[in-house]
Structure 1
Amino acid sequence: MVIEQQDKLLLIDCGLMFPSADMHGIDLVLADFTFLRENADRIVGCVATHGHEDHVGGLQFLLRELSFPLFGSALTLGLARNRIEEAGLSRQTEFVAVTDGERRKIGPFDVEFLPVTHSVPHAHAIVLHTPQGVIIHSGDFKLDLTPVDNRRTNLSRLGELAMSDGVRLLMCDSTNAEEAGHAPSEKNVGKVLKQLFIEHADRRIITASFASHIHRIQQIIEAAVGQGRVVATLGRSMQKNVRLAIDLKLLNVKASSIIDIDDARDLAPEKVCIISTGSQGEPMSALSLLSRGENKFVKVGQDDTVILSSHAIPGNEYNVNRVIDGLLRAGAKVVHSGIADVHATGHAQADEIKTYVSIIKPEWFVPIHGEYRHMLANAALAETMGVAKDNITLVSNGDVLELTDKGLSFHSRVPAQNLYVDGIVGDVGQGVLRDRRVLAEEGVVVVVVTVDSETNRVLTGPEIITRGWVYAPEAEDLLDEACDTVSRAVERALAEGVHDIDGLEKEVRRAAGKFVNERTKRRPMIVPVVMTT
């Protein structure tokens, strides 16, 4: 998100998305940075609400082209710094740590950092004190009254803003707007984990969670140490984040309770707990390697209980189920959120959002962060809590809104196409994605023909090479018929005066495509190759 004031720009978060199942070969999805590149001289900084990848993961790509300071809590900056340093871009930014309740001038922007509870510690809502009144960006939040660190969403300050200056605009997290009631407290998960450690006291316990979920890691450590176990971390991001949290004194654990993963294999199963990455079934994550028997540090067997202290993000269900199956086949017992309450969401549910809106009493309301259906549900909640229907605005990526004395209105649009990243390749583009879908779903047929340019006759071929359409050794008659069809089409085209390669390839593609579709009801990619002598 970008806020503009007095011709300067302030970014609120810069994240990335992970690919859906139909984005074949894509590693991650970025926002279109065109507007930011074109206005680079006007950017005064980026405020990060928290350290999740969907909020700071895009910085390592944007900072390749731009330079600006980054503001956030010490933990948020630490999590962002890991990726930025890996990309060799630390010199492109200045890391400016802020504290809860701090109010700071960033260019012309008067920014206040309000503490909120989320699934990563030290998250913030952003309060902008502007000439048009107070604007609040909720960040990702929940109203957990018993958080692990006792750092609650600062509702009293929100109420103070509402009663004094009034809140002109609230932009509110929509992720769980469809979910009724209240999100369970993170401490509830800790109770379940302690009980599981008691029930599986004679087994090695391996847990998997998000590496940034420091409070979950804290409760796992407490459950393990309480049963006389030591703890080892598995996975690079888990090791880095645990080290960072200990340095920032956000993890309370004795040094003697943490061991290196290499030493875990020498201990009795009931004396060790391993905290691993890979709760979303990422193919190369530590837990996925465990499930396939390919992890070089740990082998899973009948003495193991694996606790997936997470919930599958929509789109990741297949990968997670595959990991669970692999672990079960290896002989382990598996506990997941479908069996026990080993996970609690970090996003406010419907009743929490209603409470939030009732305290803030915004004049204008914009649902953010979620699919369209989530934002639509959030809009309905705001209307229920008294926000005028005409003062609720649903937006799409790229929409520009203007807040003036007359109110909030649509102004214009900026480029907002997704940018698809494959390895180190930049924008792969919709065309490449479309080709990959065809290759994955229908296969490919390559038709090779050699033509004599002097006699205008077919010299050799057509030869058909196929992958994913039919299995060639079992479809010789079909392939011979396809070759005859293409050959006749080429000879007919030559007789009609088509001699250029582009024209002949077009005829080959048309003839082969028509034949394949009529005979097999399939639409594989047709690749014509016409050579001349």
Structure 2
Amino acid sequence: MAEPVRITFLGGLGDIGRNCAAIECGGDVLLLDCGVLFADETMPGADFVLPDLEYLRDKADRIVGCICTHGHEDHIGALPRALDWLSFPIYASRFTLGLIRKRLEERGNLHRTNLHPIGDHDRIRIGSFDCEFIPVTHSVPSGLISAIRTPQGVVLHSSDFKLDLNPVDGRRTDLARIGAIARDEGIRLLLCDSTNSEIPGSSRSESEVGQVLKGVFAAHPDRRLVVAAFSSHIHRVQQIVDAAVASDRLVATLGLSMKRNFALARELGLLRLPDQMVIDVTGAERYPPERVCVVSTGSQGETRSALAMAATGDSRWLDIGPDDAVVLSSSPIPGNEARVARMINNLVRRGAHVVHSGQLDVHTTGHGKQDELRILHTVADPEYFVPVHGEARHLAAHANLAERMGQPSDRVVVACDGEQVELGDRGLRNRGKVTTGAYYYVNGQMVEDDQDLFGERDLLGTQGVVTVVVAVNGAKGRLQARPRLVSRGWVGADNVQALERDGSDEVAAAVEAHLASGNADGLERVVRRAAGQFVSHTTGRRPVIVPVVVNL
């Protein structure tokens, strides 16, 4: 009997983010991606969310490496935190490694890993795993499909992918190689991107966006063009600078990540632009508007992003006004719609003309839709299938698509974070939860898993806080001074003094009644209840009540 292969999903099955899986065989653990999930409105104050890396704590000395399929944060962003306490080599394309190196240098833990560049069609051993890397088209350069040969056959991981017949860099998803593996060896298990599994048809080619962008540039010959895109989307940036050069515009970058990625891509030959066409954004104002194109971060309206700050007049480098046309070359990520709309309104108030994906096709997805998924399934012809990279609805839709194509339902396994599937001689089975799949929230320098924290922050942010300070003499059973109520964010300045005075009286009465009973215990509970009842009765609000009892 051959050694079984176990795959534990530490993130990415239930969210589009924090992608990470641990593949185990023969005592070795191979990680597949290690990304973050960006915090949403349900996580106030959190920066991002890590995969369930606690599963690896007792396996730390068995990790033989981490394959990073491409350079998006939801696939590489957790590496700096993981390498705080783990140590393992990282395998990725040169561009992806360039992005990773910068993050590890900033974190100060580059010494805890070795970075191994891999190229298209490279085949190497990582521990006991025989790994081949196949080019794939996505919205970031140098993405890789992984064909991992194990004692149980080939495990094929699609990475994030689309089938673009006319990619900007000419680098197509290599279906021929996938087909050859399927024909010669067979693909035992397919793990496949589910992001657009609900959407019929095929994705538009990235090259089509370039033609639209050229039209936008031509339509604004007398304005400065400010084009916002994801800083890792070098194919989009290439088309922006192509349109700029064609209209004799000089190119400046705005935003730290755009500046870094722009330079890295040029260094690696992934972004082509004559040196004489590049200027620093600090000098952009010296040129006539029609001679300048600024490529910026902030297309999602992030609060401190370069474009959002320019939209509110807070940018050090860019003063947006009537001479500007601003192009948002992206679509709002679900949950960001209100933030993007607010930024657009701010730009319009400053006199700029704004172009976005709701008006023109200035964006296309990097993930394959249903027709592309069908093609990959047909070419790979896997014995077993697990949908990955998606929310629950995406995974279910992808499983349904595979079954409609003829994949037997008992050979399709829908898993979720924390679950482990085992590929053995008798097939594929879901072994259920082997770890919690917990969210680990990064709050500044802290990592926490307490979700109740966000409930408190939500109350603080929407209802405010009332602090009640009570001084008592427990030995004599009496109140030493009038209780003091101090509030923030509870009610407005016109009402706060009177309410704090009346609330103090209510708390004093409750404390005196409690002490008169001869019991000095449980005073914090008495203070919280009295203050809470007063606050709720008089204002109908539910601020956080913080009782402070001082026993003199």
- For the aligned pair, the TM-score class normalised by the smaller chain equals over 0.9
Residues 37-80 of structure 1 show CA distances to partners (whole Å, capped at 9, x for unaligned) of: 22110000000000000100110111111111110111111111
The corresponding residue for 2:4 is none
The corresponding residue for 2:15 is none
Structure with bigger RCO (C-alpha 8 Å, 6+ apart): 2
Question: Take 2:532 and 2:408, find their aligned partners in 1: how far apart are those partners?
Answer: 56
Equivalent runs, 1:180-199 vs 2, <5 Å? 180-199=200-219
Partners of 1:466 and 1:472 within 8 A in 2: no
Question: Take 2:136 and 2:31, find their aligned partners in 1: how far apart are those partners?
Answer: 19
Question: Take 1:59 and 1:476, find their aligned partners in 2: how far apart are those partners?
Answer: 50
Aligned length: 531
Bigger mean CA deviation after superposition, 216-225 or 73-82: 73-82
Give the superposition deviation at 1:446: 1.3
Question: Take 1:153 and 1:498, find their aligned partners in 2: how far apart are those partners?
Answer: 76
Partners of 1:472 and 1:479 within 8 A in 2: no
Q: Under a length normalisation based on structure 2, what TM-score does the superposition of the two structures give?
A: 0.94
Residues 167-203 of structure 1 show CA distances to partners (whole Å, capped at 9, x for unaligned) of: 1111111111111111110001000000111010111
* Residue 527 (structure 1) aligned with residue 546 (structure 2): yes
Question: Take 1:481 and 1:220, find their aligned partners in 2: how far apart are those partners?
Answer: 63
Give the superposition deviation at 1:467: 2.0
Counterpart of 2:480 in 1: which secondary structure? Answer: strand
Give the superposition deviation at 1:519: 4.0
* Residue 351 (structure 1) aligned with residue 371 (structure 2): yes
Give the superposition deviation at 1:478: 4.4
2:532 is aligned, of 507, 513, 522, to: 513
Residues 404-423 of structure 1 show CA distances to partners (whole Å, capped at 9, x for unaligned) of: 11111122412421111111
The corresponding residue for 1:417 is 438
Give the superposition deviation at 1:236: 1.3
The corresponding residue for 1:86 is 106
Counterpart of 1:79 in 2: which secondary structure? Answer: helix
The gaps in structure 1 that reach 5 residues or longer are none
Partners of 1:34 and 1:415 within 8 A in 2: no
- 1:435 partner amino acid: E
Partners of 2:486 and 2:500 within 8 A in 1: no
Question: Take 2:399 and 2:449, find their aligned partners in 1: how far apart are those partners?
Answer: 35
Counterpart of 2:455 in 1: which secondary structure? Answer: helix
The corresponding residue for 1:123 is 143
The corresponding residue for 2:481 is 460
The corresponding residue for 1:306 is 326
Residues 422-471 of structure 1 show CA distances to partners (whole Å, capped at 9, x for unaligned) of: 11222263232221111112221111211122321112222222222223
The corresponding residue for 1:42 is 62
2:427 is aligned, of 392, 403, 407, to: 407
Question: Take 2:68 and 2:466, find their aligned partners in 1: how far apart are those partners?
Answer: 49
Counterpart of 2:69 in 1: which secondary structure? Answer: coil
Bigger mean CA deviation after superposition, 156-165 or 120-129: 156-165
Equivalent runs, 1:33-432 vs 2, <5 Å? 33-411=53-431, 412-427=433-448, 429-432=450-453
Counterpart of 1:483 in 2: which secondary structure? Answer: helix
The corresponding residue for 1:437 is 458
- 2:472 partner amino acid: V
Question: Take 1:472 and 1:242, find their aligned partners in 2: how far apart are those partners?
Answer: 49
Counterpart of 2:30 in 1: which secondary structure? Answer: strand
* Distance change >3 Å, CA 387–CA 327, structure 1 → 2: same
Partners of 1:422 and 1:428 within 8 A in 2: no
Partners of 2:224 and 2:292 within 8 A in 1: yes
The corresponding residue for 2:47 is 27
RMSD (Å), alpha carbons: 1.4
Bigger mean CA deviation after superposition, 257-266 or 179-188: 257-266
Question: Take 2:263 and 2:491, find their aligned partners in 1: how far apart are those partners?
Answer: 53
Bigger mean CA deviation after superposition, 369-378 or 313-322: 313-322
Sequence identity, in percent?
49
Give the superposition deviation at 1:499: 1.3
Counterpart of 2:446 in 1: which secondary structure? Answer: coil
Partners of 2:415 and 2:430 within 8 A in 1: no
- 1:517 partner amino acid: S
Give the superposition deviation at 1:308: 0.6
Partners of 1:448 and 1:461 within 8 A in 2: no
* Distance change >3 Å, CA 472–CA 506, structure 1 → 2: farther
